[in-house]
Structure 1
Amino acid sequence: MVSDGHETDGGSADQVLTSLGYKPELMRTRSTFQVAFMSFVLASVPYGLATTLYYPLVCGGPVDIIWGWVAVSLIIICVAASLGEITSVYPTAGGVYFQSFMLAPESYRRLAAWITGWLYAVGNITITLSVNFATALFLVGCVNVFQTPDGQNVLEGSAYQVFLIFLGITLLCNLTFAIFWTFIGVIAILITVLVVAKNGRHSGAYVFGHFEVNSGWVPGWSFFVGLLHAAYATSSTGMIISMCEEVRAPATQVPKAMVLTILFNLAAGLLTLIPLVFVLPDIQELILLAQPVPAIVLSAVGNSGGAFALLIPLLVLGVICGIGCTTATSRCIYAFSRDGAIPGSKWWKVVHPKLDVPLNAMMLSMVIQIALGLIYFGSNAAFNAFSGVGVIALTAAYSAPIVVSMIEGRRTVATGSFFLGKIGWACNVVSVGASSPILGIARVSPALTLS
């Protein structure tokens, strides 16, 4: 691999890391394919879009679902390209907080790094938490495609049931480090619902042009609030940067993986959403459910057993997504602790000598997530809060190094192997300009009732 003098293999990548002031401790065993796969898993778009479909259904219907996804994906491509330019110069597990430190003027670089680092750490933890919680809620929805003879759900979905499911998923994600899963099952869902479509199919005009507001907000604002669906599914874009110190040529592999993954995710998202909207049941009934996708699949297939079987791939994909987020979060905490920014850093910066992973950092993240999960006993809007905080923190963290790079005239990124020139300027402007609306959207997410 050639990277214009930055690094061509693990050895020279370690030299770059050493020049940045860090001792190489993690094994560089991940190939370009593995980086791209990891980045794709972090997003797990079919799963992410399936578990948060409630938002656009309430806020705008089909138009919000389809065109909202396209709009946010195009913005996130700009974010990925902007972060890719910076990562090609500073490929460390510290990610955006280290990049903010290096790019900012000396007078406030420590403050910039400290704020960005905590936003990044909180974002990593809460997004991982929301992924695992969403999987728990989605599992309840999947089980309830089965009904008792009197038409009641077979699983009540009480707070303690959801929490115990969430606890089991969180423990599983922290005990499992790598799982490969085929997306054939997801494709099977899409083909089956379109072919069977027991209750018929909508017209193309409905799928791509029907706009229906049930949120209580004015149409324009409601549409933007519905974009949280897409913002949540793409919020993990920059988390892959935390894997830089396990990649053979991070200055080239990681930026390319980030950008290409968004393009693949855009296509995968449309492949997931369009068939579901074609067989969408009455929206007024769907918005009464926390997880509408199981009901959509059941309506299309007309058989509880068949619907549950088709939903299993999404459940497994949710667990895989949780594993990916857990892995990236542990590296984020490890890197932040390595710089002494987290209380008890001497414990969390340790790399397990046999497992070659920052196990203590992983356990810290797990304990915090479980503790925060207890909030669900007091509020059924907890998931909304978790996902909202995660999107807010990560969006702000991604914006920080981009803003600092623009302030310094992009002189530093011009030395990198992923420099995009004038296109990079345009990507920076779009990334920063779109961050404020996304932050505003995420802030109002707890106002939506999703339980």
Structure 2
Amino acid sequence: MSDHPTATATATAPPADRRDSQGSATKSRSHGAAPVRAGEPNADDDSADELLEALGYKAELVRTRSTWHVAFMSFVLASIPYGLATTLYYPLQGGGPVVVIWGWVLVSLIILCVAASLGEITSVYPTAGGVYYQTFQLAPPSIRRVAAYLCGWAYVVGNITITLAVQFGTTLFFVACVNVFESEAGEPVWRETTYQVFLVFLAVTLLCNAISIYGNRWLHHLDTFAVFWTFAGLLAILITVLAVAKNGRHDAAYVFGDFEPTSGWPAGWSFCVGLLHAGYATSSTGMIISMTEEVEHPSTQVPKAMVMTIVINTIGGLLFLIPLMFVLPDISELVLLAQPTPTIIKSAVGSSGAAIALLLPLMVLAILCGVACTTAASRCTWAFARDGAIPGSKWWSKVHPTLDMPLNAMMLSMGIQIALGLIWFGSPVAFNAFSGVGVICLTLSYAMPILGSMIGGRKQMQGAKFPLGKFGWLANGIALAWSALALPLFCMPAFIPVTAASVNYAPVVLVGFAIIASIWYFAWGRKNYRGPPTTTFDGVVSQGPVDAVDVTTTKKE
């Protein structure tokens, strides 16, 4: 039986004028408006807002993004090559060039299936709640509420911790870039202390939040700049390292076939653990869904952008990784470094000045990636809070009247990131925990609506604006298989034997959030949380699958 008895009654109700939560009539903004159904918006901005209202929400954010704007932001969220540069340590230790190149190709093909699956679902349910809202609509009625609650927490925690991983990765990357300069042979110019690293992390976090807050109206222009900046940097790195190659070049057999695991794990499992590199870089795939309420035509633009971005990222990643493998120094020395990329580039060009010039595009891209992740994390936190699923929801669900963005939710996300950043004082591998728990939570949240769709026989996908057709079952199956592998995989330490300093703290952080979510659910949510609103009739908000309702927009005389 459904958790929401109002759903059945509402589904059979005749079409009526939609009203907002204060009971005021919501009028059509265009003459002769056609009926609005879930997943079937008209091709104008008004219909996007009308569809959002049909899904149960009032439009509060400004729609300024086009298909390319969404694609560019999605690209910046992954920030290839920066995302690959900061986690290159994992595949090098997992097996070297084979894991770097073929691991990237393998995961990219898998994530293409994830993106296509989520894109199809998003074309039916385009809200900032993203996979959380979609899970509520697609899960079996008997578990709909609990499934949505769990998915929502995983999605929010994933967004926040992956943003934290980006900010902390940027910090460690900046330190490594500075240390391409040496005070004397073999001595880095900056022997950073723990508190210095934390202060740099704090500065990076505050900067990204400030840009996202005060530059909100121009962020899509920043994303567009980032794409051209990225490929200019990629070409500079590709041409320079291959042309100079001060220490020589490996042959193609080494680049595409050398496998040297040094992690201590058995060879096959070592390869899998090395996939965290590609998994981290592509984990942002579904984060862009949180921006749908700022997109002009979300049912078509967001799905296309998600798939388009994976293809662009795959190509960009290969353009970055293959040249580095041709000039790769001794792997046994690289795996001792937390951030090996600056060392690889310096070794190839033979000059600190030239190395920092090539690293500069990655350093700028790191900040732009942090801004994009900060923005997406704030939107999903806000969307989850407006349904009362987070303690203090009334405060976190407010939209700032002049900045046109959820400022309070962004401050909550930032506060959690800074608090978790304190783990750095207890463990030098804290970054592993941040990236690991981010990938785990996002992967889990992506899997839940896909699983719900498959359990329902994919019937809700009929009439989707981004249909997968017969390919849907295959794409969905591959996406779920990846999720089943990724969840335990990214809880593993990068190498064995495990010490107190090298243990993977991702499960600890994950369990901590699970405890908070469980306490809040049993203390408040079990009696009060009813899931997201889905449709309104005469001022009454109900919970139930929107595809059971024919929501017709009528213009009152």
Match of 2:192 among 149, 157, 169: 157
1:64-112 superposed Cα distances (whole Å, 9 cap, x missing partner): 0000000000000000000011000000000001000011222211101
Report what 1:93 is aligned to. 128
Residue 196 of structure 2 aligns with an amino acid whose one-letter code is Q
Report what 1:127 is aligned to. 162
Report what 1:332 is aligned to. 380
Provide the TM-score with structure 1 as the length reference: 0.98
Please give the root-mean-square deviation of Cα atoms over the aligned residues, in Å.
1.4
Report if the CA contact (8 A) 2:396-2:409 is conserved. yes
Q: Could you say if the C-alpha distance between residues 441 and 387 of structure 1 is closer, same or farther in structure 2, counting changes exceeding 3 Å?
A: same
1:313-361 superposed Cα distances (whole Å, 9 cap, x missing partner): 1011111111000000000001001100001111111111111010111
Provide the TM-score with structure 2 as the length reference: 0.79
Report what 1:228 is aligned to. 276
Identical aligned residues as a percent: 65
Listed as ranges, the gaps of 5+ residues in structure 1 are: none
Task: State how 1:44-443 maps to structure 2 within 5 Å.
Answer: 44-149=79-184, 151-177=186-212, 178=219, 179=222, 180-181=225-226, 182-183=229-230, 184-443=232-491
SS at match of 2:402: coil
Residue 378 of structure 1 aligns with an amino acid whose one-letter code is G
Residue 119 of structure 2 aligns with an amino acid whose one-letter code is G
Q: Aligned equivalents of 1:105 and 1:151: distance in 2?
A: 61
| 2:73 paired with 1:38 | yes
Aligned length: 449
1:226-284 superposed Cα distances (whole Å, 9 cap, x missing partner): 01100000000000000000000000000000011001100000000000000000001
Residue 284 of structure 1 aligns with an amino acid whose one-letter code is S
Q: Aligned equivalents of 2:68 and 2:142: distance in 1?
A: 40
Residue 439 of structure 1 aligns with an amino acid whose one-letter code is L
Residue 118 of structure 2 aligns with an amino acid whose one-letter code is L
Q: Aligned equivalents of 2:288 and 2:195: distance in 1?
A: 33
Report if the CA contact (8 A) 1:80-1:258 is conserved. yes
Report if the CA contact (8 A) 2:385-2:397 is conserved. yes
Which is richer in helix? 1
Once the two structures are TM-superposed, the CA of residue 447 in structure 1 deviates from its matched residue by: 5.2
Q: Which moved more, 1:152-161 or 1:203-212?
A: 152-161
Residue 376 of structure 1 aligns with an amino acid whose one-letter code is W
Q: Aligned equivalents of 2:402 and 2:127: distance in 1?
A: 22
Q: Aligned equivalents of 2:352 and 2:95: distance in 1?
A: 28
Once the two structures are TM-superposed, the CA of residue 450 in structure 1 deviates from its matched residue by: 10
Report if the CA contact (8 A) 2:135-2:148 is conserved. yes
Regions of 4+ moved over 2 Å: 3-7, 177-181, 445-451
Q: Aligned equivalents of 2:41 and 2:368: distance in 1?
A: 32
Report if the CA contact (8 A) 1:290-1:450 is conserved. no
Once the two structures are TM-superposed, the CA of residue 310 in structure 1 deviates from its matched residue by: 1.0
Q: Which structure is larger by alpha-carbon Rg, 1 or 2? A: 2
Q: Could you say if the C-alpha distance between residues 106 and 58 of structure 1 is closer, same or farther in structure 2, counting changes exceeding 3 Å?
A: same
Listed as ranges, the gaps of 5+ residues in structure 2 are: 1-37, 213-218, 497-501, 505-557
SS at match of 1:148: strand
